[in-house]
């Protein structure tokens, strides 16, 4: 069974702080890594899909990096705002399979 | 508006009473998938479909059935629901890029269906 792990499980930061969290996945048979943002009572929304080792993606104050050789991805949020409060999920595609394996998420709360 | 719709949004039922949760997308996506979300376990894939008439098991398929007779619809069927199927269910869809069979494209999620089986 493939294991996708996210850390920390939860994070509380002050408005204006920058923060980052980790997604670890199997380094063999990598195909793609997805990041999603999931606000309470809403549906998950896609942030990034990354496929190449060394990929860096950016969307406003949120960015992500990918290291497929060692099996991890970082998500960074610069200058956190209360509206960034959500659960951030990563999901792993293994090569030659159609399944998407999700981590359990990092729950971020940003206090004003 | 591009969207994935699910119905019903909330359902309370009793053990053994067959039910269907519908999922429909208007984006002409090839790939559709069902997930369940349980506290502490994250999203787990139940079934997925790469295209019409093509379905495959995800990680937790037991107790569920699906069908893909049309591209836009992917219903989830619980023939004999049990209390351990009480959960929050999400349907999702994405494009499949050319010959690539893996859904590297962004997945769009429906609003979720909260199911309680008594």
Q: Residue B76: how many CB atoms within 10 A of its CB?
A: 22
**In whole angstroms, how far apart are CA A109 and each of A7, A32, A42, A54, A88?**
14, 27, 16, 28, 11
- The per-residue pLDDT for range B15-35, each reduced to its tens digit, is 999 999 999 999 999 889 999
Q: What is the largest CA-CA distance in chain A?
A: 45
Q: Which segments within chain B are labelled E, that is strand?
A: 4-7, 10-13, 19-25, 31-38, 42-51, 54-57, 65-66, 76-78, 87-94, 108-109, 113-117
d(CA B90, CA B11): 14
By Cβ distance, the residue of B33, B41, B48 closest to A104 is: B41
Average pLDDT over residues A27-44: 90
By Cβ distance, the residue of A1, A49, A102 closest to B43 is: A102
Q: B74 touching A, CB under 8 A? A: no
Average pLDDT over residues A53-73: 95
For residue B99, the model assigns a pLDDT of: 45
Highest mean pLDDT of the ranges A36-50, A94-108, B69-83? B69-83
Contact A98, B57 (CB under 8 A): no
Cβ-defined contact of A98 to B105 (cutoff 8 Å): no
Measure B42 CA to nearest chain A CA, in Å.
Answer: 4
For residue B101, the model assigns a pLDDT of: 46
Cβ-defined contact of B108 to A100 (cutoff 8 Å): no
For residue A99, the model assigns a pLDDT of: 76
As a whole number of Å, the end-to-end CA separation of chain A is 40
Contact B33, A100 (CB under 8 A): yes
The yes-or-no verdict on residue B100 having pLDDT over 60 is no
- The per-residue pLDDT for range B39-59, each reduced to its tens digit, is 888 899 999 998 899 999 998
53-72 of A, contacting B, C-beta below 8 A: none
Cβ-defined contact of B45 to A101 (cutoff 8 Å): yes
Q: B98 touching A, CB under 8 A? A: no
**A81 or A1, which is more confident?**
A81
């Amino acid at each position: 069974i493939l294991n996708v792990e996210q850390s920390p499980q939860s994070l509380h930061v002050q408005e204006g702080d920058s923060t980052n969290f980790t997604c670890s996945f199997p380094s063999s048979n990598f195909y793609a890594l997805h990041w999603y943002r999931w606000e309470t009572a809403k549906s998950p929304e896609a942030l990034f899909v990354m496929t190449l080792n060394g990929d860096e993606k950016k969307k406003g104050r949120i960015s992500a990096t990918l290291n497929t050789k060692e099996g991890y991805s970082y998500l960074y949020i610069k200058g956190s705002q209360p509206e960034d409060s959500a659960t951030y999920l990563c999901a792993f595609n293994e090569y030659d399979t159609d399944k998407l394996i999700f981590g359990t998420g990092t729950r971020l709360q940003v206090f004003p | 508006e591009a969207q994935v719709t699910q119905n019903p949004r909330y359902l309370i039922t009793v053990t053994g009473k067959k039910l269907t949760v519908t999922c429909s997308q208007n984006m002409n996506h090839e790939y559709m998938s069902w997930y369940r979300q349980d506290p502490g376990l994250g999203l787990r894939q139940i079934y997925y479909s790469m295209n019409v008439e093509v379905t495959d098991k995800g990680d937790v398929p037991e107790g569920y059935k699906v069908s893909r007779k049309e591209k836009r619809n992917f219903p989830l069927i619980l023939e004999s629901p049990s209390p351990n199927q009480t959960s929050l269910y999400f349907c999702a869809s994405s494009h499949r890029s050319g010959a690539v069979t893996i859904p590297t494209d962004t997945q769009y999620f429906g609003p979720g269906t909260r199911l309680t089986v008594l």
